Amino acid sequence: MRARPRHGARPSLLHPVRGLVGAGIRRGAASRLGAASRLGAASRLGAASRLGAASRLGAASRLGAASRLGVGVGLVAALVVAMSACGGGGGGKKTNGLERLSASEVGTRSIAALRSAPGTHVVGTVTDASSNAPDHYDLVMSPTTTRGTIEEYGQQTQLVKIGKDTYVRRARAYYTATGDSAAADLLADRWVRLAAADAAKYSYFALDRYSDSLRGYVEGLTGGVRQQKVDGDRAVQASSPDGTTFLVANTGPAYPMRITVTGRSTSRLTFADFRAPAAASAPAGAIDLSSLG
């Protein structure tokens, strides 16, 4: 016979429930803990992944920047080399080699270039000139013609040379200054074709003879040759101990740019516009002195 429970005592139904609840709580906690753990791990993994990606992106960015910088530096270096190959500093033009020659050879080549030029504009000033020499002239010359002005005896003469024909026009003051008042009444302010004897005075104002007249100064060019700029253009200077100097173009043809000639007087010559000038024609209505006897 089973013993009966004591009065008032009831079978405990709470223990199993508490066990179940406890188990549930423990399982829920474990589940939440596992989830949290997994979430944390995932979070850390994601952060690590993002950090790795950011690191790789930064590295790639730095690599790209370095690559672009390298390309930029390479382009600059290539440009510098290209500019150096072109001669640098003097407008990119190569020299004509005069800087490597002797002073006398520079002078010889400049005169040869002048004589063979299609034309030039020359301005000359002579100080302490003798009474029968021009003290200033401004002329455009070609192999066959010369046009411009000459100052002599304090007066201006207009000059046109075509081949062997020489024409001049002078004001009355010129004839008065030379003591030829009778000629002034006939010739003042009129174009005159000179007779051969009178034209000889201007014979050297032709491109070939003018060039040849400078040859005598080349032998004295025994000084050094140095490079310099003339009005922004590259040039070489050849000089002599007495002060004669030739400034000659250092690019292209060896045209003279400026020449200073010393001696009993000092002549300063400036050359420009090495090209064929406009065609010249004989002045209309010129008086032919050779026909006047």
Say which amino acid occupies 169.
Answer: R
User: pLDDT digits over 11-61, tens only?
Assistant: 333 333 333 333 333 444 334 434 334 434 334 434 444 434 444 434 444
User: pLDDT digits over 149-176, tens only?
Assistant: 999 878 899 999 999 999 999 999 999 8
Q: Which two three-digit tokens encode residue 54? A: 């950011």
In sequence order, what are the residues at sequence separation of 6 or more whose Cβ sits closer than 8 angstroms to the Cβ of residue 75?
none
Structure confidence at residue 133 as a pLDDT band (50, 70, 90): low
Cα 16 to Cα 10, 12, 20, 100: the distances in Å are 14, 8, 6, 117
- pLDDT score of 243: 92
DSSP H helical ranges for the chain: 14-85, 103-115, 172-177, 181-187, 196-199, 207-213
CB contact at 8 A, 259 and 245: yes
Structure confidence at residue 238 as a pLDDT band (50, 70, 90): very high
Helices (runs of H) and strands (runs of E) counted in the chain? 6, 12
- pLDDT score of 92: 62
- pLDDT score of 169: 97
* Least confident segment among 78-82, 267-271, 289-293: 78-82
φ/ψ of residue 291, rounded to 5: -85, -10
Place of tokens 């002239």: 137
- pLDDT score of 177: 85
Please say if the pLDDT value at position 206 is more than 50: yes
